[in-house]
Structure 1
Amino acid sequence: MRLLVLALASIALPGWAAPVVLISVDGLRPADLHDTGARAVPLPHLRRLIDEGRYAERVRGVMPTLTYPSHATMLTGVSPARHGIGSNLTFDPEFKNQTGWYWYASDFKVDTLWDAARKSGRVTANVHWPVSVGAAVDANLPQIWRTGTADDRKLLAALATPGLLPALEAGVGPYPDGIDESVDADERRARFAARLFALRKPGFMTVYFAGLDHEEHRHGAGSAQARDALRRLDATIGELVASLRQQDPDTVVALVSDHGFSALRTDVNLFGAFIQAGLITVDDRKQVSGWQAALWPAAGSASVVLRDAGDSVVREKVRALLATLAGDSANGIDQVLDADAIARLGGARADYLVLFKPGFQIGRDPAAPLLADSSYRGMHGYSPDVPEMDAVFVLQGKGIGKGSFGSIDMRDIAPTLARVMQLKLDQAEGRALLP
């Protein structure tokens, strides 16, 4: 019996002991990978991952379908209500945080795959993954920016693993600024990821690319600019995977995205409506000077948080205002959820959640009219029930096998990767997709 167990282990373990590299392409849609019609973009390297591995036909996202909450879920296996990353931007009712994002890993309320991998003895590495500043990662190039000036490079060097950035730049050249979301920057970060993998030989590494999302916001999903970004990213990821496999042929590659995209045309200025209703007050400089109910923007959705949740008068005033706004179909509001419905959806705690229809998003200018043409052509942040918000998951490498996972939940990704790496992630709300 002991010999039989050892023989079975010798068959099963090599595939699972391999390095795992998690690559995220922000805004990559299932249609980008699976469509075969005349409009399909040739993606030979990404198609090879699908053809030789396992893939989801659709990935249902989290609420809101934004970059930071989604990437946090893919690392934890739980919804934003549990992992603590409720949006891209932190809750900032008086706008004092200068558009601060959820950059800091200290905001996680649960363990991540980085934590679990390190506890198991695996070396960890990261290139530009969201919510990574201060993460317990052995070789960390976190995502961070403030102004887009030269000081941002000093900030990144100070927050990265000591000595890591100059050591990599000596062989690869200058690292792109954190605020640079172009495909050019993605191509340079891919070279850093390849170099980092070769030097540190991590057992688990995360890599994030933002260029496709950037073009989809500016020009729309399926635009000529987005299609060109897709072609370039396919080549970039192909080169990165080839480099990884050259270092270790058994490397398991996981390709993910955080959300899909929907066409956008209209900004809905809820801030102006809340100001007119006296729920938010502003001074002569149009700065927020007080609030009874604050808005927490999430593009295709917006949370409403009462300063005093027990104030029934303010609560009724907010409820009535939202009902009036939602009652006019021109405002593009699909539905308004209360706190219980938000909890069932797994969203961050709030008193109300305004869900917009695709084509509409919350505006940010309190001086603008209620409805205004948007400067963006594509957006996300809508309910995960909107099909256009579906994300992708592909897993390929030794021991993974081939075929479809069918439709999955984004919370399934972390426990699946934990199983590949033989890690414990008991907190996960999702299910491991592999036996």
Structure 2
Amino acid sequence: MKAPVRLAALLAGALLSTVSARAAPVLLISVDGLRPADIVEAEARGVAVPNLRRMMATGAWASGVTGILPTLTYPSHTTLLTGVTPARHGIDNNISFDPLNINQVGWQWYAADVRVPTLWSAARAAGLRTVNVHWPVSVGAPVDVNLPQIWRTGHDDDRKLLRALATPGILDTLEHDLGRYAQGIDESVEADQNRIRFAEALITREKPALTTIYLASVDHVEHQFGPGTPQAFAAIASNDAMIGQLVATARKAQPGVTVVVVSDHGFEAVTTDVNIYAPFIAAGLIGFGTDGRVASWEAEPWLMGGSAAIVLARPKDTALASKVSALLDKLAADPEMGIARIIDRAAIAKLGGARSASFMIEFKPGFEAGKVPTAAKTTPSSYKGMHGYFPTGRAMDASLFVDGPNLTRRGNLGVIDERAIAPSIARILGVRLPDAEVRPAF
């Protein structure tokens, strides 16, 4: 029995050596909320993005990237690393479903919740070195040098939390030369510039096969001021300058690096918050205790920006499902609720959405899910821009710009599937990502 074991080990080692030998490094940069047309039509829109335009001229780009359900940051970034929908990878929303509000608005920070292999784990299996700076769902990820994304309040205790969760000693080393690392909750342009400096230092020091870095400021500004505004265009220009800076450093450290710039979703301008909680409270589907906190629930909305999932406490209870379905039909008939459509479990499954959702609501453009259960039916929106709508509309399209020596296609790739990005990167790295649902696009 020992000989076959040795033979299997030798074959595995030979395969690992073959995969590693043909690996080419990849720098994966995410610009949250970057709309493709803001770069493709940059001159007409007055957006200064020379670095991304240069990538378009010499590499490949997509006129649109069709996203997943829902078009939110954490589910989308997990798809970008796995090539599968939320139904398979398990990150269904930015925030965890918390019907009794005990998790203090906890986000889905933890890589342990991802159910399928990622580019990080595929690289590790192939013996390749990886670096991560602030990518969503990266706490505890199989990354060699990891500065994961996490925050709680923005208090200085968050710095201790990050230090405990990052690769041991890395923050002390980097902060000695670069100053304090940006707080996780800080999504300003200045915070992104800070993270770029840390990424530059890590790429120069580690020369990793795969680097992932996430920039939040475009999304932050588009929420605050709306997409297509002077403030949004200024943030995009700043991000382009950061990308140029980081790419120059990466190409100096690793001349053969392939640069992949992505976003996770598009954006809609919004004006109106819709209180989707109140009808469920009025119907007795959510109950409160004397302390004013949720004490019981049978069905509750799980907010997703431009959409909301409806989760049932007993999904197989047909009477409960019928009651909720009738309530949703009534809400959809009320024009003030701004509901574009409602889909059931079968349609959610077809779109690869949350397996825990029995229904999903999509709001019309201009409407978003309000967060305050005691608010009026509709109120002026808390944000000026939002995403999270169904991926079937072009306004939710994400971006892709890629340049490097190992592309199979160049120029305009047309509209591609977001799930095609991870297997494309896996091909360039020379690693296996067998769970990916579609073929590589570049």
Normalised to the residue count of structure 1, the TM-score between the two structures is 0.95
Unaligned runs of at least 5 residues, structure 2: 1-18
Deviates more, 1:22-31 or 1:361-370: 361-370
Preserved contact between residue 273 and residue 370 of structure 1 (Cα < 8 Å) = no
Preserved contact between residue 15 and residue 250 of structure 1 (Cα < 8 Å) = no
Shift of 1:39: 2.1
1:87 is matched with which residue? 93
Aligned positions of 1:301-316 closer than 5 A:
301-316=307-322
Report Cα offsets for 1:325-344 as digits up to 9, x if no partner.
00122211111111000000
2:390 is matched with which residue? 383
Distance of aligned partners of 1:305 and 1:425 in 2 relative to their CA distance in 1, 3 Å threshold: same
Preserved contact between residue 308 and residue 362 of structure 2 (Cα < 8 Å) = yes
| Secondary structure, aligned partner of 2:186 | coil
2:84 is matched with which residue? 78
**Does residue 360 in structure 1 map to residue 351 in structure 2?**
no
Distance of aligned partners of 1:36 and 1:98 in 2 relative to their CA distance in 1, 3 Å threshold: closer
Aligned positions of 1:212-251 closer than 5 A:
212-251=218-257
Q: Distance in 2 between matches of 1:428 and 1:194?
A: 30
**Does residue 266 in structure 1 map to residue 272 in structure 2?**
yes
Report Cα offsets for 1:348-383 as digits up to 9, x if no partner.
111111111111111111110111111210000000
Compute the RMSD of aligned alpha carbons.
1.4
Preserved contact between residue 420 and residue 440 of structure 2 (Cα < 8 Å) = yes
Shift of 1:291: 0.4
Q: Distance in 1 between matches of 2:61 and 2:330?
A: 44
**Does residue 151 in structure 1 map to residue 144 in structure 2?**
no
Q: Distance in 1 between matches of 2:265 and 2:325?
A: 30
1:418 is matched with which residue? 426
1:175 is matched with which residue? 181
Preserved contact between residue 20 and residue 254 of structure 1 (Cα < 8 Å) = yes
Residue type matched to 1:147 in 2?
Answer: T
Q: Distance in 2 between matches of 1:329 and 1:30?
A: 31
1:187 is matched with which residue? 193
Q: Distance in 1 between matches of 2:38 and 2:290?
A: 48
Q: Distance in 2 between matches of 1:143 and 1:178?
A: 6
Residue type matched to 2:379 in 1?
Answer: A
Shift of 1:113: 0.2
Preserved contact between residue 413 and residue 430 of structure 1 (Cα < 8 Å) = no
| Secondary structure, aligned partner of 1:366 | coil
Residue type matched to 1:297 in 2?
Answer: L
Aligned positions of 1:25-424 closer than 5 A:
25-349=31-355, 350-400=357-407, 402-424=410-432
Shift of 1:223: 1.3
Shift of 1:16: 5.8
Shift of 1:237: 0.8
Shift of 1:36: 4.5
Deviates more, 1:370-379 or 1:76-85: 370-379
Distance of aligned partners of 1:150 and 1:299 in 2 relative to their CA distance in 1, 3 Å threshold: same
Shift of 1:37: 4.8
| Secondary structure, aligned partner of 1:72 | helix
Sequence identity percentage: 53
Q: Distance in 2 between matches of 1:224 and 1:405?
A: 29
Shift of 1:402: 2.7
Shift of 1:14: 12
Preserved contact between residue 32 and residue 40 of structure 1 (Cα < 8 Å) = no
Preserved contact between residue 338 and residue 352 of structure 1 (Cα < 8 Å) = yes
Shift of 1:169: 1.1
Preserved contact between residue 42 and residue 48 of structure 2 (Cα < 8 Å) = no
Q: Distance in 2 between matches of 1:399 and 1:288?
A: 54
Q: Distance in 1 between matches of 2:212 and 2:48?
A: 25
2:5 is matched with which residue? none
Report Cα offsets for 1:76-116 as digits up to 9, x if no partner.
00000000000000111111110000000000000000000
Q: Distance in 2 between matches of 1:356 and 1:151?
A: 38
Q: Distance in 1 between matches of 2:291 and 2:271?
A: 29
Aligned positions of 1:15-26 closer than 5 A:
17-26=23-32
Q: Distance in 2 between matches of 1:113 and 1:313?
A: 43
Q: Distance in 2 between matches of 1:360 and 1:15?
A: 51
1:7 is matched with which residue? none
Preserved contact between residue 20 and residue 430 of structure 2 (Cα < 8 Å) = no
Preserved contact between residue 131 and residue 143 of structure 1 (Cα < 8 Å) = yes
Distance of aligned partners of 1:429 and 1:228 in 2 relative to their CA distance in 1, 3 Å threshold: same
Report Cα offsets for 1:7-52 as digits up to 9, x if no partner.
xxxxxx9996321010000000011110045323020011111111
Preserved contact between residue 31 and residue 218 of structure 2 (Cα < 8 Å) = yes
